[in-house]
C-alpha cells in the first residue's frame, strides 16, 4: 500500500523542451513604445529561427496600471511549442521595466526571482497619478526599489534609458532594446537586433543611436542610483535694474545676511521669493516678521522656530492669486523650461495652451478690498459672478492677443496690496503667526509644529480652498491639544494625516481620536 502511494505521487520528469523556452515580460505605460519594443523582439527572435508568441494585458488607465507585454520563444523544432498567454510568478526569465516603479511592481508580483530573472530597468521616474494627487510629498523612493531588485533578481541592470533616448532624439523603446541586447540575456547577436530596427523603416537612425548607447551601458553591467526627481535650485543670479533699486536690494540682503547662521540661508531664499512676488517694500515686511519671531526664539534650540518661520512666512506672503498665475505663465523662463521638457524638433513651432478656470472668489479677490467684501457678503452677487466667469478658458499663449491678456493681468500685481485677496491673506498670516508664538510661550515644540502647519495652505482656486479647510481643521485640533506633553507630536500627526489624502478621510479619523481623549480629559476635570 505504501509503495502504491509513493508511486502515485512521484513527480514526472520535466519535458526537456520546456527548458528551451525563453519567457520575457515588458512592463511599460502609454507613450513609451512598449508595442514597438515587443515587435522588435519578435522580429529578432524569428530571424534567428525561433517560434514566438506575444500577448499584452493593458492597464486600467495610462498611469494607473502598466501594460504587460509577454512573450515566449523557443527554437523551431519538429513539434510546435505550446506557449502560455500570461506571465506567472516565479516563471519569468527576463523582465524589462520602462520605469523604476514598474520594476518595483514586477518584484511585488513575484515576476522577478533570484534563481532565474534578469531585470533590466530604466532608473528614471515617470510619476504615477497616485504620487501626483497626494497633497504632500507622494513621490515613492526609488532607492528602496534598487535595494529590493539587487536581492530579488538574478542579475540587475539599471540606468537612465529615458535620457539616453532623448539625447539620441528617439524613444525609450530603442534604448530598452539596446539594453536587452547588451545584457546578453537573449542568445542573439547585436546585428540581429539592429536588423530588427532597420526593418521597421521609421526613425531608424535615431533609434540606432539610442540602441547603441543602451547596448554599451548594459554591456558594462551598469546599476545607477536614480535621481531623487527633485531638481536642485539653481544659484540666484546677480540682480539687474536701476541703481537705486539695486542699492535698496543690497541693504535688504545685508539685513538678511546678519541673521543667525541657522536662519540666514532660508531667510535669503524667502526674501528673494517675496521681492520677486511683489516689491522691495514687501521684502522689508518679510524681514520685519522674521525678526519678530527671532526676538522670541531660544538660541539654545538652534533657532528652529525662526528657521521654520523664515520658510513658511515667505510661502504665506508669496501666495498664488490670479495676478501671480498670469505673471508666471508669461515669463520667458517658463517658455524656456517647457521647450526644454518637450524638446521640439529643430525649426518646429511650439504651441502652448494655458487653462484658466477662475471661480467667483478669484474674481472678487482681485477687486478693491471694500468692494470685494460687499460682493462676497451677497450670495446673489456671487452667483451672478460665478455664472459669468466660472468657465474653463483655454488661452494660446503662442498667439499675441491671449499672451497680451495674461501679460497685462500679471502686470496688475502693482495693485495687489489694495485687493480683497491680499487683505484676507494678511489677516490669515497674522492670525497663524500670533497663534504659533502664543503656543511657543507654553511649548516650544508645539510652536514649531504650528508654524509647519502652514504647509497645508498652497495652490490656487479649489486647491487653495481645500488646503485652507484642512489647515483650519488641524488648527482646531491643535487647540484641543495645547497644554499636553504630547501636543507637538499630535500636531505633527494631524498635519501628516491631512497631507496623506486629498479627501481628508485620514485627517477626520485622527481628529476623532483627538476629540475622544480631549473629551475624556474634560470629563475627568469636571468630576
> By the 8 A CB rule, do 136 and 496 touch?
yes
pLDDT in tens, 407-445: 999 999 999 999 999 999 999 999 999 999 999 999 999
Burial class (CB in 10 A: 0-12, 13-18, 19+), 165: buried
Strands (E) in 123-281, as ranges, are: 155-159
Per the CB < 8 A criterion, the answer to whether 167 and 244 are in contact is no
Global pTM value: 0.69
Which region among 7-11, 25-29, 171-175 has the lowest average model confidence (pLDDT)?
Answer: 7-11
Provide the pLDDT for residue 100.
Answer: 84
Residues 115, 117, 120, CA angle at the centre, nearest 5°? 145
32-77 pLDDT, tens digit per residue, is: 778 899 999 999 999 999 999 999 887 654 444 578 999 999 999 8
Query: Which region among 7-16, 123-132, 365-374, 498-507 has the lowest average model confidence (pLDDT)?
Result: 7-16
Q: Indicate the DSSP class of residue 228.
A: -
Least confident of 24-28, 199-203, 285-289: 199-203
The answer to which of 212-226, 446-460, 502-516 has the lowest mean pLDDT is: 212-226
Consecutive H or E run containing 22: strand 22-28
Beta bridge partners, 57, equal 68
Q: Which pLDDT does position 336 carry in this prediction? A: 84
Share the mean pLDDT of the chain.
Answer: 85
What is the dihedral sign for C-alpha 356, 361, 362, 366?
positive
CA 176 centroid distance within chain: 24
Between 7 and 403, name the one with better pLDDT: 403
d(C-alpha 332, C-alpha 275), whole Å: 18
Which residues have CB under 8 Å from 462's CB, separation 6+? Answer: 359
Task: Please report which confidence band the pLDDT of residue 495 belongs to, taking 50, 70 and 90 as the band edges.
Answer: very high
Among residues of the chain, what percentage have pLDDT more than 90? Answer: 53
**What are the structural domains of the chain?**
18-219 (3.40.920.10), 435-521 (no CATH)
Give residue-wise pLDDT tens across range 180-226. Answer: 999 999 999 999 999 999 988 778 999 999 999 999 999 887 666 55
CA distance 55 to 71: 7
The CA-atom distances, in angstroms, between 64 and each of 61, 105, 106 are 5, 12, 14
Amino acid at each position: 500500500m505504501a509503495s502504491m502511494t509513493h508511486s502515485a505521487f512521484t513527480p514526472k520528469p520535466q519535458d526537456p523542451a520546456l527548458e528551451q523556452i525563453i519567457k520575457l515580460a515588458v512592463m511599460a505605460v502609454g507613450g513609451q513604445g512598449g508595442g514597438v519594443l515587443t515587435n522588435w523582439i519578435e522580429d529578432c527572435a524569428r530571424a534567428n529561427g525561433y517560434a514566438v508568441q506575444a500577448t499584452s494585458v493593458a492597464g486600467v488607465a495610462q498611469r494607473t496600471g502598466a501594460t504587460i507585454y509577454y512573450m515566449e520563444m523557443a527554437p523551431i523544432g519538429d513539434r510546435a511549442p505550446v506557449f502560455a498567454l500570461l506571465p506567472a510568478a516565479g516563471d519569468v526569465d527576463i523582465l524589462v521595466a520602462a520605469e523604476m516603479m514598474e520594476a518595483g511592481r514586477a518584484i511585488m508580483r513575484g515576476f522577478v526571482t533570484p534563481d532565474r530573472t534578469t531585470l533590466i530597468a530604466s532608473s528614471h521616474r515617470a510619476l504615477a497619478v497616485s504620487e501626483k494627487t497626494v497633497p504632500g510629498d507622494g513621490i515613492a523612493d526609488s532607492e528602496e526599489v534598487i535595494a529590493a531588485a539587487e536581492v530579488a533578481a538574478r542579475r540587475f541592470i539599471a540606468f537612465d534609458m529615458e535620457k539616453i533616448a532623448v539625447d539620441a532624439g528617439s524613444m525609450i523603446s530603442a534604448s530598452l532594446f539596446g539594453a536587452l541586447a547588451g545584457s546578453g540575456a537573449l542568445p542573439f547577436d547585436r546585428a540581429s537586433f539592429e536588423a530588427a530596427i532597420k526593418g521597421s523603416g521609421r526613425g531608424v537612425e535615431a533609434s540606432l543611436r539610442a540602441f547603441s548607447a543602451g547596448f554599451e551601458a548594459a554591456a558594462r553591467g551598469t546599476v545607477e542610483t536614480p535621481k531623487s526627481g527633485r531638481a536642485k535650485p539653481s544659484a540666484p543670479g546677480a540682480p539687474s535694474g536701476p541703481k537705486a533699486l539695486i542699492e535698496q536690494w543690497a541693504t535688504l540682503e545685508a539685513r538678511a545676511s546678519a541673521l543667525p547662521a541657522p536662519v540666514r540661508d532660508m531667510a535669503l531664499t524667502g526674501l528673494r521669493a517675496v521681492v520677486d512676488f511683489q516689491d522691495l517694500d514687501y521684502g522689508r515686511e518679510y524681514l520685519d516678521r522674521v525678526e519678530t519671531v527671532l526676538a522670541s526664539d531660544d538660541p539654545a534650540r538652534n533657532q528652529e522656530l525662526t528657521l521654520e518661520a523664515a520658510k513658511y512666512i515667505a510661502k504665506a506672503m508669496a501666495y498664488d492669486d490670479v495676478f501671480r498665475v498670469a505673471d508666471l505663465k508669461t515669463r520667458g523662463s517658463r517658455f524656456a523650461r517647457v521647450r526644454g521638457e518637450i524638446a521640439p524638433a529643430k525649426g518646429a513651432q511650439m504651441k502652448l495652451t494655458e487653462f484658466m478656470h477662475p471661480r467667483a472668489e478669484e474674481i472678487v479677490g482681485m477687486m478693491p478690498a471694500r468692494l470685494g467684501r460687499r460682493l462676497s457678503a451677497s450670495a446673489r452677487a456671487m452667483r451672478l459672478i460665478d455664472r459669468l466667469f466660472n468657465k474653463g478658458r483655454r488661452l494660446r499663449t503662442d498667439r499675441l492677443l491671449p499672451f497680451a491678456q495674461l501679460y497685462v493681468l500679471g502686470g496688475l500685481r502693482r495693485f495687489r496690496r489694495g485687493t480683497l485677496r491680499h487683505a484676507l491673506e494678511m489677516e490669515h498670516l497674522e492670525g497663524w503667526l500670533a497663534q504659533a508664538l502664543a503656543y511657543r510661550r507654553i511649548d516650544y515644540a508645539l510652536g514649531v509644529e504650528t508654524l509647519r502647519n502652514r504647509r497645508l495652505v498652497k495652490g490656487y482656486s479649489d486647491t487653495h480652498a481645500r488646503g485652507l479647510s484642512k489647515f483650519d481643521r488641524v488648527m482646531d485640533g491643535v487647540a484641543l491639544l495645547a497644554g499636553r506633553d504630547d501636543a507637538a507630536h499630535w500636531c505633527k500627526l494631524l498635519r501628516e494625516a491631512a497631507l496623506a489624502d486629498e479627501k481628508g478621510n485620514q485627517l477626520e479619523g485622527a481628529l476623532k481620536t483627538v476629540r475622544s481623549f480631549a473629551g475624556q480629559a474634560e470629563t475627568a476635570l469636571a468630576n
